[in-house]
């Protein structure tokens, strides 16, 4: 009886651990996607700003 209880507890804790790991991985994945999107936006903005600065510089330099 005690053995069955221990076994059940082990299985439960293992399942809980697995669930926690899976949810952590999933959350990390979501955060990573959000981070990647943010970085892409920053890069796009940076590129646009660089283009604008180049354009403004060329205009002022008379190219």
pLDDT digits (tens, 9 = 90+) for 21-44: 888 888 888 888 888 888 888 888
Question: Average pLDDT, whole number, for the chain?
Answer: 78
What is residue 27's predicted lDDT score, i.e. its pLDDT? 85
Residue 1: alpha-carbon gap to chain centroid: 46
Cut 0.85: pTM above it: no
What is the torsional sign of CA 4, 6, 8, 14? negative
pLDDT of 20 > 80? The answer is: yes
- DSSP code of 44? H
Q: Which two tokens stand for residue 45?
A: 């903005």
Give the model's confidence band at 2: pLDDT under 50 very low, under 70 low, under 90 confident, else very high: low
Q: Given the structure tokens 């999933």, which residue do they identify?
A: 26
């Amino acid at each position: 009886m005690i053995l069955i209880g221990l076994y059940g507890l082990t299985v439960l804790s293992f399942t809980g651990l697995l669930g926690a790991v899976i949810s952590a991985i999933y959350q990390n994945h979501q955060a990573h996607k959000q981070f990647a999107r943010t970085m892409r936006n920053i890069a796009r903005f940076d590129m646009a700003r660089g283009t604008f600065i180049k354009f403004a510089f060329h205009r002022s330099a008379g190219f």
